[in-house]
């Protein structure tokens, strides 16, 4: 028996393996659903809600909802895209995102999504929260000003024996990422590099490196985020 | 019909956005055909001599003089445009927003490594000097701003496209490459 299911995204007939999350199923069918906290191959978390779609007219996060037979998904409408844009704007005002001086600028997924949705100015007032920079680790620098608390590093960075290196500390507006002191001090170069790459913003940075790719040649300088999926 | 009148100013900015206006190269000849400049560092007119159609604001508000100038622009310009990251979100001057004002002044005039000679520990404080604000404010938190052009600086093409769209009433062209935050 075939395990393929049929469903529709914005009226387009699509097919995917039963149990595939909507984001992945859409990708296989050449449709881009914007994501931020999601990482391919790691259990989804659904914390940022940028992938919100209407599933049979109810808003659901596309990264955590599996496709089922006959599902009607609405993805690309002005209303949904404005909701996504407003989430990005919230993330911009909640942190201290100084793009002009950020090492990650041009390779930053938050910024790339803002470009995609043509954010000219956030509709919310800036908070300018008091956040710190933690440079105590020998391999990486943590800048809490830029952290969007997507939990990517917590979910994806694990030691060989499966221990989490990153964790959350405190709650609410004070919530921040911490590194396990012991595991963090014994960071392998590989794992540190992975942590830097997995961070969608410039909150986890490598030491003694920065601004290595010139403006114009960075990941999102010329190419819209998601266009690699849409081309297929 | 007379040409639309443009005024520009740099508040808490670095004049980089004005440099970017000049970066339109030979199109500057088209620009002076298209618009007339009034109060602006470009023609060095210091005060408004007539009502203007478009005001381009570079930089955010870090002191009382910035607020005064910005309100003056709002009064004299029909359309105000925030040009660049500093006008839109405070930009690099806003890096001080998490630091108490006393600490900033102490660092600048007393404790800083570049302070050469200030034995009495004087921090400048005179009626003639603009007062620093408690933090740096984006322009749209002080007055109503009509349009925003992000970038550090905004690409010359973006400023040019926006000016032409405002003057001619045509739709603004926004190619992906020209809207950047850095």
| B147 in any annotated domain | yes
Cis upstream peptide for A210 (omega within 30°): no
Which pLDDT band holds residue B2 (cuts at 50, 70, 90)?
Answer: confident
What CATH number is given for A85-206 in this structure? 3.30.70.20
Q: Which two tokens stand for residue B136?
A: 């740096």
Which pLDDT band holds residue A2 (cuts at 50, 70, 90)?
Answer: low
A32 closest CA partner among A42, A22, A18, A41: A22
> Between A106, A121, A222, which is nearest B182 by CB?
A106
Whether B98 and A125 lie within 8 Å, measured CB to CB: no
| B31 in any annotated domain | yes
DSSP labels, A78-104:
HHHHHHHHHHHHHHHHHTT--GGG-TT
Interface check B96 vs A, CB under 8 A: no
Q: For domain A4-76, give the fold.
A: Ubiquitin-like (UB roll) (3.10.20)
Q: Are B128 and B121 in contact (CB under 8 A)?
A: no
- Considering only CA atoms, give the Rg of chain A: 19
DSSP-derived 3-state class of residue A185: helix
Which pLDDT band holds residue A169 (cuts at 50, 70, 90)?
Answer: very high
A133 closest CA partner among A121, A125, A118, A144: A144
**pLDDT for position B1:** 65
CA dist B41 and B46 (Å) reads 8
Query: Could you read off the pLDDT of B59-68 as tens digits, one per residue?
Result: 999 999 999 9
Domain of residue B89, CATH code: 3.40.50.700
Whether A128 and B177 lie within 8 Å, measured CB to CB: no
Interface check B91 vs A, CB under 8 A: yes
Give the domain extent around B143: 5-95+135-178
B contacts of A126 (beta carbons < 8 Å): 89-90, 138, 141
Neighbours of A196 (CB within 10 A): 21
Query: Could you read off the pLDDT of A91-123 as tens digits, one per residue?
Result: 999 999 999 999 999 999 999 999 999 999 999
**pLDDT for position B50:** 95
**pLDDT for position B152:** 96
**pLDDT for position A232:** 63
| B49 in any annotated domain | yes
Q: pLDDT over 70 for what percent of chain A?
A: 98
- ipTM score for this prediction: 0.93
| B174 in any annotated domain | yes
Strand boundaries in A87-231, DSSP class E: 133-134, 140-143, 166-169, 176-179, 204-206
Whether A121 and B88 lie within 8 Å, measured CB to CB: yes
CA dist A197 and A174 (Å) reads 25
Distance from CA of B148 to the nearest CA of A (A): 6
CA dist A15 and A8 (Å) reads 8
Q: What is the number of domains present in chain B?
A: 1
Q: Which two tokens stand for residue A7?
A: 């469903």
CA dist B18 and B84 (Å) reads 10
Interface check A65 vs B, CB under 8 A: no
A contacts of B182 (beta carbons < 8 Å): 99-100, 102, 105-106, 215
Strand boundaries in A121-195, DSSP class E: 133-134, 140-143, 166-169, 176-179
Neighbouring residues of A228: CB distance < 8 A, sequence distance ≥ 6: none
| B150 in any annotated domain | yes
Strand boundaries in A1-81, DSSP class E: 4-9, 12-17, 52-55, 58-61, 72-74
Average pLDDT estimate for A170-186: 92
B6 closest CA partner among B53, B45, B43, B50: B53
Query: Could you read off the pLDDT of B9-19 as tens digits, one per residue?
Result: 999 999 999 99
Q: Mutate which of A100, A119, A213, A223 to test chain B, going by most B C-beta atoms within 10 A?
A: A100
Can you give the residue ranges of every domain in chain A?
A: 4-76, 85-206
> Between B150, B177, B182, which is nearest A120 by CB?
B150
DSSP-derived 3-state class of residue B149: strand
| B112 in any annotated domain | no
Closest alpha carbon within chain B to A118? B179
Average pLDDT estimate for A13-40: 96
CA dist B16 and B147 (Å) reads 19
């Amino acid at each position: 028996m075939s395990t393929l299911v049929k469903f529709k995204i914005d009226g387009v007939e699509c097919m995917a393996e039963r149990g595939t999350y909507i984001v992945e199923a859409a990708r296989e069918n050449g449709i881009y659903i914007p994501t931020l906290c999601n990482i391919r191959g790691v259990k989804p978390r659904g914390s940022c809600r940028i992938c919100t779609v209407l599933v049979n007219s109810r808003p659901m996060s596309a990264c955590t909802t599996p496709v089922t037979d006959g599902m009607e998904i609405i993805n690309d409408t002005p209303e949904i895209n404005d909701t996504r844009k407003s989430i990005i704007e919230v993330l911009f005002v909640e942190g201290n995102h100084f793009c002009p001086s950020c090492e990650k600028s041009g390779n930053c997924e938050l910024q790339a999504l803002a470009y995609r949705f043509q954010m000219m100015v956030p509709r919310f007032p800036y908070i300018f929260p008091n956040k710190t920079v933690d440079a105590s680790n020998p391999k990486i620098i943590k800048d809490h000003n830029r952290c969007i608390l997507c939990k990517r590093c917590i979910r994806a960075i694990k030691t060989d024996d499966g221990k989490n290196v990153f964790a959350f500390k405190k709650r609410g507006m004070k919530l921040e990422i911490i590194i396990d002191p012991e595991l963090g001090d014994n960071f392998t170069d590989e794992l540190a590099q992975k942590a830097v790459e997995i961070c969608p913003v410039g909150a986890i940075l490598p030491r003694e490196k920065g601004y290595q790719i010139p403006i114009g040649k960075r990941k999102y300088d010329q190419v819209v985020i998601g266009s690699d999926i849409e081309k297929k | 019909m007379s040409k639309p009148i443009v005024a520009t100013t740099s508040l808490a900015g670095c004049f980089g956005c004005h440099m970017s206006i000049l970066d339109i190269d030979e199109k500057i000849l088209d620009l002076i055909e298209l618009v007339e400049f009034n109060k602006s560092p470009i023609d060095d007119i210091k005060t408004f001599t007539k009502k203007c159609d478009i005001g381009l604001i570079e930089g955010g508000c870090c002191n009382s003089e910035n607020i005064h100038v910005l309100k003056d622009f709002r009064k004299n310009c029909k359309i105000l445009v925030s040009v660049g990251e500093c006008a839109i979100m405070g930009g690099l001057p806003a890096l001080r927003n998490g630091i108490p004002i006393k600490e900033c002044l102490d660092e600048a005039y007393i404790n800083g490594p570049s302070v050469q000679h200030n034995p009495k520990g004087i921090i400048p404080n005179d009626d003639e000097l603009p007062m620093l604000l408690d933090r740096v404010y984006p322009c749209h938190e002080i007055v109503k701003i009509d349009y925003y052009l992000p970038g550090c600086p905004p690409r010359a093409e973006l400023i040019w496209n926006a000016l032409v769209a405002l003057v001619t009433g045509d739709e603004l062209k926004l190619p992906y490459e020209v809207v950047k935050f850095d």
